[in-house]
Amino acid sequence: MRQIVLDTETTGLEVEAGHRIIEIGCVELVDRRVTKNCFHHYINPQRSIDEGAEQVHGISLEFLSGKPVFGDIQEAFLDFVTGSELIIHNAAFDLGFLDKELALGSANPVRMEEICGVLDTLALARSKYPGQRNSLDALCNRLGVDNSSRDQHGALLDAELLAEVYLHLSGGQASLVLNASTSGPSKHQHKLAPKNKQLRVIMPSDKELADHSAYLSDLHETADQGCLWTELDKNSE
């Protein structure tokens, strides 16, 4: 199964007000393992950036002045994501901006949900931790994901962090390689205990064994069909 963890940065919060995408970051998961295949671009929005938005992501219009417009990277982006399941935190926000960009760049635009499945990790987190803060930073802190390098928002870094958060939320993962740009271990890599580490085994006391045996005997006498564990003990003798 191929999944794409996706994040965007924008010129402002409201797509209806004409705000645009200025950065896209995507990290690929194949069979719940992060690959080194990623998609990352800064984009010239051809409009101003709200001051509040720039304080969040630190991306200036001057920095973006020589970057491609969305139409220049649209085909490569669609090739990368089509047919995958997108994993997005607060998916409605990013999908709204992506659908708007696709509408501006094509006479026959497609919507993201027509070409990809979508999983919203914010909805997943709210179902697992109702009534708690479920921002990306809050989830990183709760799940032990190292977000110390996240001084400001960044689409690729946030996609890397979200990939690890998603794997924790949805059942855990043995090994992560989240720095797609290098061949060495990522600073976000999740480390397991050594395979040869001996686990401590605590044996029951004589009293605990006697109490357990008495409980099974009572259960065998009162249950309509007896006690399965008692029958298994008899058959093993």
Q: Has 212 been annotated as catalytic?
A: no
Q: Does the residue 120 lie in any domain?
A: yes
Which has more pLDDT, 6 or 204?
6
Q: What would the two tokens of residue 37 be?
A: 């295949």
Catalytic residue among 153, 168, 188, 190: 153
The pTM of this model reads 0.71
Q: How many helices (H) and strands (E) does the chain have?
A: 10, 5
Q: What is the rounded CA–CA span in Å between residue 109 and residue 102? A: 6
> In this predicted structure, what is the pLDDT of residue 11?
97
Number of structural domains, the chain? Answer: 2
Residues 132 and 33 occupy one common structural domain: yes
Query: Is the CB of residue 193 less than 8 Å from the CB of residue 58?
Result: no
75-112 burial code (b ≥16 CB/10 A, e <16):
eebeebbeebebbbbebebbbbbbbbbbeeeeeeeeeb
- Between 86 and 147, the more confident residue is 86
The torsion region of residue 181 among left (phi > 0), alpha (psi -120 to 50) and beta comes to alpha
Q: Assess whether 129 and 212 both reside in one domain.
A: no
pLDDT of 64 > 90? The answer is yes
Range of the domain at 219: 206-236
Lowest mean pLDDT across 6-15, 50-59, 121-130, 182-191 = 182-191
- Mean pLDDT score across all residues of the chain: 84
CATH of the domain at 56: 3.30.420.10
